[in-house]
């Protein structure tokens, strides 16, 4: 006969056994209280244990054993009782008794003991063992003991009791629900393959879900495409999983293609598909797909839920399909759903953005008479469009209806401050206070901004200190305006005070304002303070740029703190910033001034290799330093690149290079530079001329001849000098 386990929601076919029926009727997984593993450590109550053993001696039957086990809260005692009974020759365990014991130790987390009892039950081939194991799987799943359910399933397989596909799906579903990961799901799926159980669409859906959740997108799509090969047709849940998985992994276009396949198949999805897919496509601004699904949903006589309506209305507003939006709003209300305040606000804003303020006003009157949030959205839209007079009328009406909040006053007050209507702003602030509305953080931020607009930075600073006293913070615009304004009037210390407070509260400053602060601090010679501010910026999320580092490096350079400059350089590179022209020039000038020839040459060569060109001041400083130490040759490659790609070198620099290369024995390079110099029409200075002439004469004395190259060079130099002298 077919008997239902009380703990399950489905029927299991069992044999017609009287004792099994009694067990089934008394079993209730929901009433089982899991025993803590720590109970195993407790000392067994000897008297209670002996009494229960004596009770069993007098009546050693399965039902009596089950009753005794139910009455034994101590797990260790229960296991001892069960094992004692197992040793009694006149007793044979049943599926009932094994089920009770396996469930008890499993819920207590004693997996090893549980598995031993499972193996014994399978080994003893107890009647109805399969049904008991099936029940155990369901009980463990219901009690969120998925590991235990998996072990029971494995023991079923090992014992030759082939689980059904539905039982495998129960375990797979539990694993997916608990997000146990791909490997756990794969393990159960392999058990399914071992037992030659053919998967159904639910099995493959669980597999698809875990593949998408673990970013195995291509594998998931491959499984989806191969479903027909496994004699499984995708169902509504399949398409829901695939579309949701693709969108979650930024494969929106692929999700649209899958939706198109569903349309081509003439597939009719279930309600859950619509309530999942429509909001997803709306959030991705795939409006046409969302509208088509919405129409199909209505044609199927499904009633959209609140989320579906709201997401569709929002998407329609973003695309300015406002007439359709209004119709869907009416439909939503007719179904008995009450739109959220922000839904009304979206429509109000949408009509205002297309300039239809009258329609927005009508909506407020018809649908939102006493709702504050949509009215505030209307105020914001009016102010943004410069329609302050309309905003003022709306605020008056709101005040008469007693539906204003602090934000209702802050919106027009902020607009007046931003537009330097300070007299009107003060009047409005007075009315706000008279109306018993206490100015909040946003009010003070607007005051700071208004004072900054009028360059009243001392007043703005006073308001800011009131903000600090109340442990509030400024909004980002007021924050930036105050810092920049204080820096402009050289109140850099006060600007740093503002930055420190806001940073300590986790608010970032825009990079341009922060750079002004760093520049002001370095300009005061407080470079160490600027460095500390950069560290504070890092902790608050304030972004800093190459300019930030260049400013600090320049400050250190002016103070001749080259070692500290290198520390800042290291931090700059660690933060992923790249050296720009200014940074390279600062480094080259600083190292040149300290006669660190190898360092300045290194920075120059790196700079030129990156296609950057130093300024004239930097170049002259570099050449002078290297020439004084007879080290010009270490930048010869860089000089060749620089000469080929820029016109930065002047005649004085050419003279330094020619003199230096010649003295250092690099006469070929000197000759090439001289040729270039002469081509530009520049005359070598007297020092260069004497060097070249003297060197040529010395070579003639030593070797008895001139090289053709040097003779030609000398003639050219002499001719140009003669022409120059003749003109004077």
Average pLDDT estimate for 716-726:
40
The most distant pair of C-alpha atoms in the chain lies apart, rounded to whole Å, by: 141
DSSP string, 682-706: PPPPHHHHHHHHHHHHHHHHHHSS-
**pLDDT of 32 over the 70 cut:** no
Please give the mean pLDDT across all residues of the chain: 86
Task: Check whether 372 has a pLDDT greater than 70.
Answer: yes
pLDDT reported for residue 694: 59
Closest CA to 185 of 165, 208, 218: 208
- Segment 387-416 shows an average pLDDT of 96
**How many Å apart are CA 57 and CA 323, to the nearest integer?**
84
The tokens of 93 are what? 């365990």
Are the C-beta atoms of residues 364 and 348 closer than 8 Å to each other? yes
Give the residues across from 2 on adjacent strands: 13
Q: How far apart are the first and last CA of the chain?
A: 130
**Percent with pLDDT over 70 in the chain:** 89
Assign 340 to helix, strand or coil.
coil
pLDDT tens per residue, range 269-322:
999 999 999 999 999 999 999 999 999 999 999 999 999 999 999 999 999 999
Q: pTM value? A: 0.73
Cα–Cα nearest to 632, from 655, 614, 648, 613: 655
Q: How far is it, in rounded angstroms, from Cα 136 to Cα 171? A: 11
| Residue 719 CA: distances (Å) to CA of 273, 724, 727 | 93, 9, 12
Q: Which range (119-128, 227-236, 638-647, 701-710) has the least confidence?
A: 701-710
pLDDT category of residue 413 using cuts at 50, 70 and 90: very high
- Determine the Cα–Cα distance for residues 172 and 164; give it in Å rounded to an integer: 13
Output the pLDDT for position 45: 66
- Contacting residues for 512 by C-beta, under 8 A, at least 6 apart: 480, 484
How many angstroms separate the Cα of 363 from the Cα of each of 371, 376, 377?
11, 13, 12
Average pLDDT over residues 461-490: 96
Q: What is the pLDDT of residues 525-571, one digit of tens each?
A: 999 999 999 989 988 999 988 999 999 999 999 999 989 999 999 99
């Amino acid at each position: 006969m077919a008997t239902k386990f009380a703990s399950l929601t489905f029927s299991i076919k069992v044999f017609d056994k009287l004792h099994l029926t009694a067990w089934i009727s008394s079993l209730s997984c929901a009433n089982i209280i899991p025993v803590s593993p720590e109970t195993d450590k407790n000392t067994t109550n000897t008297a209670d244990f002996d009494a229960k053993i004596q009770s069993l001696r007098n009546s050693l039957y399965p039902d009596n054993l089950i009753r005794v086990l139910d009455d034994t809260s101590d797990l260790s005692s229960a296991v001892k009782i069960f094992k004692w009974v197992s040793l009694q020759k006149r007793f044979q365990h049943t599926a009932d008794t094994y089920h009770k014991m396996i469930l008890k130790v499993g819920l207590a987390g004693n997996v090893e003991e549980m598995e031993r009892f499972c193996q014994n039950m399978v080994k003893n081939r107890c009647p109805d063992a399969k049904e008991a194991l099936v029940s155990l799987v369901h009980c463990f799943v219901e009690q969120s003991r998925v590991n235990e359910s998996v072990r029971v399933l494995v023991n079923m397989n090992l014992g030759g009791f082939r689980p059904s596909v539905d039982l495998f799906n129960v375990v797979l579903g539990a694993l997916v629900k608990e997000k146990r990961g791909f490997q756990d799901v794969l393990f159960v799926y392999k058990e399914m393959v071992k037992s030659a159980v053919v998967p159904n669409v639910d099995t493959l859906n669980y597999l698809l879900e875990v593949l998408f959740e673990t970013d195995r997108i291509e594998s998931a799509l491959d499984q989806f495409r191969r479903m027909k090969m496994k004699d499984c047709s995708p169902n509504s849940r399949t398409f829901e999983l695939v579309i949701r998985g693709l969108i979650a992994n930024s494969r929106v276009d692929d999700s649209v293609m899958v939706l198109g396949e569903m349309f081509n198949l003439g597939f009719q999805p279930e309600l859950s598909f619509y309530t999942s897919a429509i909001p997803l496509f709306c959030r991705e601004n795939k409006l046409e797909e969302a509208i088509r699904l919405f129409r199909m949903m209505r044609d199927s006589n499904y009633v959209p839920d609140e989320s579906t309506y709201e997401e569709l209305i929002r998407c329609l507003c973003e695309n300015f399909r406002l007439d359709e939006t209004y119709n869907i709003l009416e439909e939503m209300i007719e179904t008995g759903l009450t739109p959220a305040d922000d839904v009304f606000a979206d429509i109000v804003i949408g009509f205002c953005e297309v300039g239809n303020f009258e329609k927005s006003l009508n909506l407020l009157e018809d649908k939102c008479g006493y709702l504050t949030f949509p009215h505030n959205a209307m105020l914001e839209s009016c102010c943004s469009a410069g329609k302050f007079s309309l905003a003022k009328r709306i605020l008056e009406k709101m005040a008469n209806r007693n539906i204003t909040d602090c934000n209702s006053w802050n919106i027009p007050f902020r607009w007046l401050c931003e537009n330097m209507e300070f007299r009107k702003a003060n009047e409005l602030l007075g009315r706000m206070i008279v109306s018993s509305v206490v100015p909040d953080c946003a009010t003070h931020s607007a005051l700071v901004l208004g004072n900054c607009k009028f360059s009243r930075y001392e007043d703005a600073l006073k308001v800011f200190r009131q903000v600090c006293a109340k442990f509030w913070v400024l909004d980002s615009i007021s924050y930036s305006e105050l810092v920049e304004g204080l820096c402009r009037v050289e109140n850099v210390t006060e600007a740093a005070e503002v930055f420190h407070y806001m940073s300590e509260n986790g608010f970032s400053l825009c990079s341009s304002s922060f750079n002004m602060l760093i520049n002001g601090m370095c300009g005061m010679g407080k470079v160490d303070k600027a460095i500390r501010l950069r560290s504070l910026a890092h902790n608050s999320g304030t972004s800093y740029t190459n300019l930030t580092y260049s400013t600090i490096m320049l400050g250190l350079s002016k103070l001749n703190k080259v070692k500290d400059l290198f520390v800042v350089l290291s931090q700059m590179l660690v933060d992923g910033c790249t050296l720009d022209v200014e940074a390279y020039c600062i480094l080259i000038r600083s190292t040149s001034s300290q006669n660190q020839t190898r360092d300045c040459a290194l920075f120059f060569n790196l700079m030129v290799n990156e296609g950057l060109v130093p300024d004239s001041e930097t170049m002259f400083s570099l050449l002078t330093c290297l020439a004084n130490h007879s080290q010009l040759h270490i930048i010869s490659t860089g000089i060749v690149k620089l000469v080929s790609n820029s016109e930065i070198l002047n005649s004085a620099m050419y003279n330094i290079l020619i003199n230096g290369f010649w003295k250092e024995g690099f006469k070929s390079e000197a000759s090439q530079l001289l040729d270039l110099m002469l081509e530009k029409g520049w005359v070598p200075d007297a020092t260069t001329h004497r060097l070249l002439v003297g060197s040529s004469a010395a070579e003639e004395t030593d070797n008895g001849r001139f090289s053709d190259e040097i003779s030609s060079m000398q003639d050219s130099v002499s001719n140009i000098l003669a022409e120059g002298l003749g003109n004077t």
